[in-house]
Structure 1
Amino acid sequence: MDLLRRYLRLLRIRLAARRQPALGLHDVSRVAGRVGWSDIDELRHMNNGVYLSLMDHARLDLMLRSGAWAKIRAARMYPVVTAQSIAYRRSLVRGQRYVIESRIAGYSDKHVYIEQRFVVDGQIWERAFVEGRFVRDGGGTVPMEELAAVVGEDLAAHPAPAWLVEWSRRVALPPSRAEAPSSWPEGSDRPGAGDEGVSVA
């Protein structure tokens, strides 16, 4: 996705959000799109990484229309993605129309989880789960209790599914200031070696 197209899409989402009905923080947001030339790769379908960029934009629609974005920016906070997983069912091709549906799946004691779907004619073509947390403009992580107070929601009333929290635990990397050496287990060059370390079921 080229830089100009990215910012034009962000502008379109911001302008469209002003004309759309307000949403609750835990409602489903829907953002329509169409696959452009800069979205496709050499295999003539939408590049795998473009899906993730488009999901970034779609999450902004939910934040804007729920009023949460204005509140967290006033508190000098912003969200960051800490992990995500996406399943691809069918390929989107140039010119094809789709809708990205986004909904908060729940919260843990550290993270917020969002489910997002690429939908064509009412059918799910791709589905992703995104884990994020909120940080301060000046640095440092925002505790979930403080986030709840800022957005005016009881986050504890919306717990994340247990399997999603377990997935988060299994794929997590050490904190940014800790060591994270790239060392492979002995025999990890064998097909399937190390698979027992990651599970999302």
Structure 2
Amino acid sequence: MNLIFRMLYVLVRSLFCERMRGGNFASEFALSVLPNDIDINLHMNNGRYLTICDLNRVDIFARSGLLKAMFRRNWIPVIAEHTMSYKKPLGLFARYRVRTEVTHWDEKYFYMKHVFSKGERIMAEGTSKGCVYARGVGVVKPVDAFAAVEMDNSK
């Protein structure tokens, strides 16, 4: 399955999943390593982990209401920093779970933790720092992003 199909799956799935409220923003998927995910060593390419994290973030955006708020205001999500530690490789067709959780935010950024696991074993884990950006204006403070979501929900 190409990434566009995974993205469509995430967006459709998010329509049927519980909405995220009250600061508890986490997304979890069960996936498999597909032939287009692997590198020359026949395990998941290190860049693919970062792309899979993007899918989790889109799920969080959609289920929290932030995706709708961003579209309405022409905002875009931006990742400022991402780190990943690879502990064990995920081979071709391996089943795994990936969980992304927003751990906290400050005046500018949202901070997230990403965990890839196979059974009880952690295969890779990382962190990222991202923001919402308004073209021509700059970074949207998380508190303002939350206010936009609340405004849209009250309509």
TM-score (normalizing by structure 1): 0.68
**Structure 2 vs 1, CA of residues 124 and 41 (structure 1 numbering), >3 Å: closer, same or farther?**
same
Give, in whole Å, the separation in 2 of the partners of 1:63 and 1:29: 10
Q: Is it true that 1:46 corresponds to 2:44 in the alignment? A: yes
Q: In 2 relative to 1, CA 145–14 (structure 1 residues): closer, same or farther, beyond 3 Å?
A: closer
| AA in 1 matched with 2:13 | A
Determine the structure 2 residue equivalent to 1:195.
Answer: none
Match of 2:109 in 1: 111
Residue 94 of structure 2 corresponds to residue 96 of structure 1 = yes
| Residue matched to 2:67 | 69
Summarize the alignment of residues 130-169 of structure 1 with structure 2, pairs less than 5 Å apart: 130-138=128-136, 140-152=138-150
Answer whether contact 1:23 1:29 (CA < 8 A) is retained: no
Kept in 2: contact 1:89–1:125 (CA 8 A): yes
Question: Relative to structure 1, is the Cα distance of residues 63 and 36 closer, same or farther in structure 2, using a 3 angstrom cutoff?
Answer: same
Partner of 1:193: none
**Does the 8 A contact of 1:13 with 1:61 survive in 2?**
yes
Query: Residue type of the partner of 1:42?
Result: I
Work out which of the two has the higher radius of gyration on C-alpha atoms and give 1 or 2.
Answer: 1
Report the 3-state secondary structure (helix = DSSP H, G, I; strand = E; otherwise coil) of the residue aligned with 1:42: coil
- The answer on whether the counterparts of 1:29 and 1:101 sit within 8 Å (CA) in structure 2 is yes
Aligned length: 149
Q: Per chain length, whose mean CA-contact separation is higher, i.e. which structure has more relative contact order (CA < 8 Å, sep 6+)?
A: 2
Which has a greater percent of strand?
2
Of residues 74-83 and 34-43 in structure 1, the stretch that sits farther from structure 2 once superposed is 74-83
Q: Is the 8 A contact 2:108 2:139 kept in 1?
A: no
> Contact 2:57–2:100 at 8 Å: present in 1 too?
yes
SS in 2 for 1:17: helix
Distance of 1:142 and 1:23 partners within structure 2: 20
Q: Matched residues in 1 for 2:26 and 2:141: separation? A: 25
1:79 partner amino acid: P
Q: What is the CA distance between 1:126 and its match in structure 2?
A: 1.0
Give the superposition deviation at 1:148: 3.2
Q: Structure 2: which 5+ residue stretches go unaligned?
A: 151-155
TM-score, normalising length from structure 2? 0.87
Matched, 1:6 2:3: yes
Deviation at 1:140? 2.2
User: Structure 1 segments of 4 or more deviating over 6 A?
Assistant: none
Partners of 2:100 and 2:114 within 8 A in 1: yes
The DSSP-based 3-state class of the residue aligned with 1:26 is coil
The secondary structure found in structure 1 opposite 2:90 is: coil
| 1:98-136 deviations in Å (ceiling 9; x for gaps) | 111111011122211011111211332111101011111
Cα deviation, residue 97, structure 1: 0.9
